[in-house]
Amino acid sequence: MAFFDVDNTLMRGASIYHFARGLAARDLFTTRDLLRFAWGQLLFRASGTEHPQQIDAARDAALAFVAGHDVNDLVNLCEEIYDDTMADRIWDGTRNLVRRHLMAGERVWLVTATPVELADIIRRRLGLDGALGTVAETVDGVYTGRLVGDLLHGPAKAAAVESLARHEGVDLDSCTAYSDSSNDLPLLCAVGRPNVVNPDDALLDHAHARGWPVHEFRTHRTALRVGVPAALAGAVAGGVTMSVLRRRARR
């Protein structure tokens, strides 16, 4: 069994941010909300680390947005946005790693803090076996704005994988896991074959010290750590510009 993180491991950037951009493009997400997502991404890509306050802010923004919305409506939007803006962000190198496991007859699961609905769409598009993600509470097919359990992040990922392994009767010592972030060390340490993909500095040091395989699919690592925030800032600036133009056109 192989477990893959999504953001910056399987896909360039944060899947929830790309989803937010897709919603903004459809006038279903405000420029202010997009700025909040972008700011967290700017800090993350500039520092290579995630901070609890950034994680909490992203979680709260996402939950506040989905509250009161129909589950099926948002899932349909997820499908559309994935095909439009996210499918071409899958790292070719990571896709090849996934294929190797599938061709070897191993089951492949995604394990991500991304909402489980979005994770499940990525799973289906790539022909994988399952997806573990953050679960938002629903009542009668409508999001309440609360979580079921915790954000699937850090130690929670390891706990989720351990629970799945017990349910499936799988020995984690025979399993493989892939991640880019030192926040996922609990997950990587839970399996017998940890791998790092496009690692942050702390995870790279950890991998070198323990002889873990390192997969680097970024062409120019330093340039990307600077360039991705610049690209996000440009996208946000473009969103602000479009918002202003729309308001002017309505006058």
Q: Which segment, 63-72, 84-93, 187-196, is predicted with the most confidence on average?
A: 187-196
Give the tokens for residue 32. Answer: 């202010």
Q: Could you tell me the end-to-end alpha-carbon distance of the chain, in angstroms, rounded to an integer?
A: 58
Q: How far is residue 7 CA from its own chain's centroid? A: 3
Q: What percent of the chain has pLDDT over 90?
A: 46
Here the tokens at position 118 are 């979005």
| CA dist., res. 48 & res. 224, Å (int) | 11
- The total of other beta-carbon atoms located within 10 Å of residue 106's CB is 15
What distance in Å separates the CA atoms of residue 55 and residue 188, rounded to the nearest whole number?
20
More confident residue, 22 or 127: 127
Tell me if 181 sits within 8 A of 201, measured CB to CB: no
CA 136, CA 245: separation in Å to the nearest integer? 34
Is 171 assigned a catalytic role?
A: no
Per the model's pLDDT, the better-predicted residue between 215 and 235 turns out to be 215
pLDDT tens-digit readout, 147-191:
777 778 889 999 999 999 999 999 999 999 999 999 999 999 999
Question: pLDDT per residue over 131-151, tens digit each?
Answer: 999 888 888 888 887 777 777
Q: What is the average pLDDT score of the chain?
A: 79
CB atoms within 10 A of CB 230: 11
Give the chain's largest Cα–Cα span. 64
Band of residue 31 on the pLDDT scale cut at 50, 70, 90? low
Is 27 in the active site?
A: no
Mean pLDDT over 47-72 rounds to 61
Residue scoring higher pLDDT (2 or 38): 2
The residue that leads in pLDDT, 243 or 168, is 168
Is pLDDT above 60 for 240?
no
Of the two residues 223 and 50, the one the predictor is more confident about is: 50
Residue 68 has pLDDT above 90, yes or no: no
More confident residue, 44 or 109: 109
Contact yes or no for 113/5 (Cβ under 8 A): no
What is residue 4's predicted lDDT score, i.e. its pLDDT?
Answer: 98
Structure-token pair, residue 77: 């939007």
* Cα–Cα distance measured from residue 246 to residue 119, given in angstroms and rounded to the nearest whole number: 33
* pLDDT score of 70 more than 60: yes
Model confidence pLDDT, tens digit, residues 180-222: 999 999 999 999 999 999 999 999 999 999 999 999 999 864 4
This prediction's pTM: 0.78
Give residue for tokens 């191993």. 106
pLDDT of residue 137: 82
